[in-house]
Amino acid sequence: MLDWRKVIQSPHLSRRHFWIVVCGLVAAGSLGVWMFESGGAPAESPDKTTRRGRAPAIDAKVVIELTEAQAKAVKVEPVGHSTFDLVKQAVGNIDFNQNMLVQVFTPYQGRIVVTHANIGDRVDRGQLLFTIDSSDLLQASSTLVAAAGVYTLQNRNLKRLTENLKGGGGAQKDVDQATSDQQAAEGALRAARDTMRIFGKTDEDVDKIVAERKADSTLVVRSPISGYVTARTAAPGLFVQPGNAPAPFTVADTSTMWMIANVVESDSALLRVGQEVKVRVSAYGDREFSGSIVVIGASVDPQTRRVMVRSEIKDPDHLLRAGMFATFAIHIGNPFQTTAVPDSAIVREGDGTMPVWVTTDRRHFEKRTVKTGLLQRGATQILEGVQPGALVVPDGAIFLSNKLLIGAAE
């Protein structure tokens, strides 16, 4: 190794040579410091640095190979077409047809004596629901009995005066007065009978009251329509008044029901009043109830961004119940055919992707992600990913996915 101290102290070294040696020593020291700070490693080219920082490319194509025995157990069929209905769906609830729902009030105040129907009972129009003890009816009955008595008296008086006049023992003015009194009595009796009809009494009931000369205070309240009793607050001893809620009885005609559905705002423009709808409820499985749209809401709910759609549903068998959860489907176009695979061919991954397994030689299977559309009658519409004629696994797709996971774990 060269001893730089001996070189510097040599008597043969000139001043010029001395400064050359010093500059060389300084340069060598600077080079050593730089190499120490940089780790002693030579600089890499920009291209190499970039390659080292980039993640390696991953091949998205996933293929598994089956043995001959495994391949025979896997069913393969070509992608075909299926017919799909162009429908929009929503959910809602069944309710009574409010246009066929009647709250039955008493026409006059009184105290309930007897009730003749319970909730859930089928009642016909005119069937007795309850009776009340009405002071108003008692007054009307008394007026009827009095009017009938006056009418009978005036008829006798008129008959007697007419016979006297014919025999020469009376005056015409007496007959005229008697006639006027008899007509007034007849009008009062007719008015009294009409009043009794307003109270719900039949002609037979009125004739019985007149014949027995006995006032009746029992007011009969009958059902105005045929249907089912859906609510009852009536009870013996309860004092009721006309129009005071709650009504003693509520009767609903359930031959038609309402479905109140909430449709997303974007679908509301496709709906029209009068369009046919199909409704299903979980209680009756796949059975469909037909109906039509009768009302489309005039506003959008600011919280849910949905529009109320009310449909009138036919229910001749009286199967639907108010409050049932129901699904609503409406056809907005003609059926169409498109590329489709069975639902079991789709493997739904945890990340939301939906792949199918595709093969060309029935031994090697490729996992290919597809874009799906409608799901109807066990078929899934394919929008992107595979073309008609491509061989896919309609059943056993889960087996291939599990084999892929097992292979990755090993």
Q: Tens of pLDDT along the chain (410 residues)?
A: 445 454 445 554 455 555 555 555 555 555 554 454 444 444 443 343 333 333 333 345 777 777 777 777 777 788 888 877 777 888 899 999 999 999 999 888 899 999 999 998 999 999 999 999 988 888 888 999 999 999 888 888 888 888 887 877 777 888 888 889 888 998 999 999 998 888 878 888 888 888 888 888 888 899 999 999 999 999 999 999 988 889 999 999 999 999 999 888 888 888 889 888 999 998 998 899 999 999 999 999 899 889 999 999 999 998 999 999 999 888 777 777 788 888 877 777 777 788 888 888 877 878 888 888 877 777 888 888 888 888 887 876 666 666 555 554 44
Task: Please give the model's pTM, rounded to 2 decimal places.
Answer: 0.57
Which sequence spans correspond to the domains of the chain? 64-84+336-409, 135-216, 253-331
Residue with the two structure tokens 């109140």:
260
**Rounded distance, CA 343 to CA 354, Å?**
11
CATH architecture of 253-331: Beta Barrel (2.40)
Class of domain 135-216 as given by CATH: mainly alpha
CATH architecture of 64-84+336-409: Beta Barrel (2.40)
